[in-house]
C-alpha cells in the first residue's frame, strides 16, 4: 500500500513537473491562454467623447485609453473587442457606425431653418431675397415718428436673431440652403457676402450715427477691401440683369465690407455638416444683427457662392470650432455599445490661415489645400475672385472683354 501511494504521489509530482517544466510549446500555449483573456470581461464600459465625432474609431480610442490606464493588459483595443465578443468585434464596430448614422440622420430631420431666425412670418423666398440684398432686413432704416417713437429698430424688430444664435447656431444644426440659387452650386465650397451700407448706430461698426434721419441715410460699413469689378452675368439670377459689367478703378466705390467662409472636400466632416451655422453667423448674426450691415453691390447678390460674387481684393473669414459630444456604454450581456448624443458646442472664430495670415478667406483656403481638404485648382478659382491687386485684375478683365 505504501509503495502504491508513493508511486501515485510520484506520478502526480512528475505530472506537475511535466506541466511546469515541459516543452517550450507547452509554455507558449499557456502564455497565449493567459494573454487571450479580455481585460474587461464581464464588465460594462462607459466613456465620454467631448471633442470628437461619432464613429467606430472613437470607440477604439476610448477602449485603448482604458487599456493604457489598466495594469497587466497588454493587447490593443481591436484585440480587446474581439475577445469581448468572441471574435465578433467588427460586427460591434459596424453597429456603432450604424447608430452614429442614425444620430446624424435625426439631426438632419430636426435641423433648424434660417427663416426661424426672424420675428416676421417669412417664407424661404424672403430669406433668399435677403441674400440677394433686398427684403425689409436690408431696406428699412430706423427713424423717429411724429410722436417721438423710434420705429424700425433693428435690435427690437429682429431680436429673434439673437435667440436663434444662442439656441441654434451655438448648439444645434442649421440647414444650409442648398436649394437657393445663391448657394446651390458652390463648386469650390466657398461663399462670401459684400455689404455697402450700415443701418445701425452705436455698435462701433460702420459710420451710421444718430440722429438717423441726418446721419444714417447712406452710411458706410467698415471698409476692409477694394471692389474691383462686377461681371453682372455671373449674378444675373439675383440682380435680374442679364449681362454687362461695372468697373471701380482707384477705389472709386467707397467703403465696402466683405466676409466669407469655406469648407473642405469631405462631406462628412464637421465643417461641411455645419456650414449652415457658419452662413447664419456671418450673414445674419455677426454682420446684420450685430453691425447693421446691409445691401449688396448692384448687379450681384449680397451673399452667395464665390462664383456669383463681385471681384474684390480680399475678404475676412470665419471658421468654426465644433465639438460634438457622445457617450458610449458597453453592455457585456448584449456585447454591444450604445451611443448617446450629448450635444454639440460650436464657437465662431477668425479663420487661422496659412503662413499665420489670419482672418483672411484666401489664406484660409490655402490652409485647406495644405491639409489636403481642397486642391490648388480650386484655390486658383478663388483667387480669380479675391485678386489682391484690383488694378491688374481690371486691366486683364477689360482686355478680355475687348478681345
Q: Locate the domains of the chain by residue range.
A: 111-315+360-402
Nearest to 269 by CA among 6, 102, 53: 53
Q: Would you state the pLDDT for residue 212?
A: 96
The per-residue DSSP string of 139-191 comes to: H---EE-TTS-EES-HHHHTTHHHHHIIIIITTSPBPP-TTSTTTTT-TTSEE
Give me the mean pLDDT over the 60-77 stretch.
Answer: 92
Residue 278 C-alpha cell reads as 457658419
Maximum distance among all Cα pairs of the chain, rounded to whole angstroms? 126
- H/E stretch holding 60 reads helix 56-68
The answer to whether 76 and 64 have CB atoms below 8 angstroms apart is yes
What's phi and psi for 207, nearest 5 deg?
-115, 20
The answer to whether 365 and 190 have CB atoms below 8 angstroms apart is yes
- H/E stretch holding 340 reads strand 336-350
d(CA 201, CA 216): 8
Query: How far is C-alpha 189 from the geometric centre of its chain's CA atoms?
Result: 12
Is residue 197 classed as helix, strand or coil in its secondary structure? strand
Nearest to 300 by CA among 230, 248, 249, 387: 230
Which residues, including other chains, have CB under 8 Å from residue 207's CB and lie 6 or more apart? Answer: 198, 219, 220, 255
Give tens-digit pLDDT for 17-64.
Answer: 333 333 344 443 433 333 468 999 888 999 898 877 899 999 999 999
- Model confidence at 221: pLDDT above 70: yes
**What pLDDT band is residue 121 in, cutting at 50, 70 and 90?**
low
d(CA 375, CA 83): 43
Residue 220 C-alpha cell reads as 458706410
Residue 76 C-alpha cell reads as 490593443
Percent of the chain past pLDDT 70, that is, above it, reads 90
pTM recorded for the entire structure:
0.86
Sole residue written with cell 497587466: 72
Helices (H), 36-87: 56-68, 77-84
Q: What is the DSSP letter of 310?
A: P
d(CA 66, CA 170): 31
d(CA 297, CA 374): 28
CA angle 205, 172, 364 (to 5 degrees): 55
Query: How far is C-alpha 355 from the geometric centre of its chain's CA atoms?
Result: 22
Burial of 19 (0-12, 13-18, 19+ CB in 10 A): exposed
Burial of 152 (0-12, 13-18, 19+ CB in 10 A): middle
Give tens-digit pLDDT for 181-197.
Answer: 999 999 999 999 999 99
**What pLDDT band is residue 374 in, cutting at 50, 70 and 90?**
very high
Give me the mean pLDDT over the 76-87 stretch.
Answer: 92
Q: Would you state the pLDDT for residue 118?
A: 83
Q: Would you state the pLDDT for residue 120?
A: 66
- Model confidence at 141: pLDDT above 50: yes
Range picked from 86-90, 245-249, 256-260 for highest mean pLDDT = 256-260
Is residue 402 classed as helix, strand or coil in its secondary structure? helix
- Model confidence at 169: pLDDT above 90: yes
Sequence length of the chain is 403
Q: Would you state the pLDDT for residue 402?
A: 82
d(CA 138, CA 118): 13
Sole residue written with cell 447678390: 301
Residue 95: count of CB within 10 angstroms of its CB = 18
Which residues, including other chains, have CB under 8 Å from residue 28's CB and lie 6 or more apart? Answer: none
Q: Would you state the pLDDT for residue 276?
A: 98
Q: Which tops the pLDDT comparison, 295 or 47?
A: 295
**What pLDDT band is residue 236 in, cutting at 50, 70 and 90?**
confident
Least confident of 48-52, 162-166, 258-262: 48-52
Residue 255 region by backbone torsions, left for phi larger than 0, else alpha for psi between -120 and 50, else beta: beta
Amino acid at each position: 500500500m505504501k509503495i502504491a501511494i508513493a508511486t501515485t504521489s510520484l506520478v502526480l509530482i512528475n505530472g506537475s513537473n511535466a506541466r511546469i517544466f515541459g516543452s517550450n510549446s507547452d509554455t507558449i500555449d499557456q502564455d497565449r491562454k493567459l494573454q487571450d483573456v479580455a481585460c474587461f470581461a464581464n464588465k460594462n464600459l462607459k466613456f465620454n467623447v467631448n471633442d470628437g465625432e461619432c464613429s467606430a474609431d472613437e470607440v477604439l480610442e476610448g477602449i485603448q485609453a482604458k487599456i493604457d490606464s489598466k495594469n497587466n493588459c497588454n493587447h490593443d483595443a481591436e484585440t480587446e473587442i474581439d475577445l469581448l465578443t468572441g471574435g465578433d468585434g467588427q460586427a460591434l464596430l459596424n453597429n456603432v457606425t450604424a447608430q452614429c448614422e442614425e444620430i446624424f440622420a435625426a439631426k438632419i430631420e430636426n435641423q433648424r431653418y434660417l427663416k426661424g431666425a426672424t420675428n416676421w412670418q417669412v417664407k424661404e423666398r424672403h430669406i433668399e431675397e435677403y441674400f440677394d440684398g433686398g427684403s425689409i432686413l436690408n431696406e428699412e432704416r430706423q427713424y423717429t415718428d411724429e410722436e417721438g417713437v423710434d420705429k424700425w429698430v433693428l435690435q427690437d424688430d429682429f431680436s429673434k436673431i439673437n435667440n436663434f444664435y444662442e439656441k441654434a447656431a451655438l448648439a444645434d444644426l442649421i440647414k444650409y440652403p442648398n436649394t437657393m440659387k445663391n448657394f446651390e452650386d458652390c463648386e469650390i465650397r466657398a461663399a462670401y457676402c459684400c455689404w455697402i451700407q450700415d443701418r445701425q448706430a452705436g455698435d462701433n461698426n460702420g459710420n451710421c450715427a444718430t440722429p438717423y434721419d441726418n446721419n444714417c441715410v447712406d452710411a458706410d460699413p467698415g471698409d476692409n477691401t477694394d471692389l474691383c469689378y462686377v461681371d453682372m452675368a455671373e449674378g444675373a439670377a439675383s440682380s435680374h440683369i442679364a449681362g454687362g459689367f461695372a468697373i471701380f478703378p482707384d477705389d472709386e466705390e467707397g467703403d465696402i465690407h466683405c466676409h466669407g467662409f469655406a469648407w473642405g472636400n469631405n462631406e462628412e466632416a464637421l465643417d461641411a455638416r455645419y456650414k449652415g451655422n457658419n452662413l447664419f453667423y456671418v450673414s445674419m448674426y455677426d454682420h446684420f444683427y450685430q453691425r447693421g450691415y446691409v445691401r449688396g453691390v448692384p448687379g450681384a447678390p449680397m451673399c452667395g457662392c464665390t462664383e456669383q460674387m463681385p471681384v474684390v481684393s480680399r475678404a475676412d473669414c470665419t471658421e468654426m470650432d465644433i465639438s460634438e459630444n457622445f457617450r458610449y456604454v458597453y453592455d457585456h450581456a448584449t456585447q454591444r455599445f450604445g451611443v448617446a448624443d450629448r450635444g454639440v458646442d460650436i464657437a465662431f472664430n477668425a479663420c487661422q490661415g496659412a503662413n499665420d495670415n489670419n482672418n483672411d478667406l484666401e489664406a484660409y483656403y490655402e490652409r485647406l489645400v495644405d491639409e489636403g481638404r481642397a486642391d490648388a485648382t480650386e484655390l486658383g478659382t478663388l483667387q480669380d475672385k479675391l485678386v489682391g491687386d484690383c488694378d491688374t485684375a481690371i486691366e486683364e478683365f477689360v482686355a478680355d472683354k475687348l478681345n
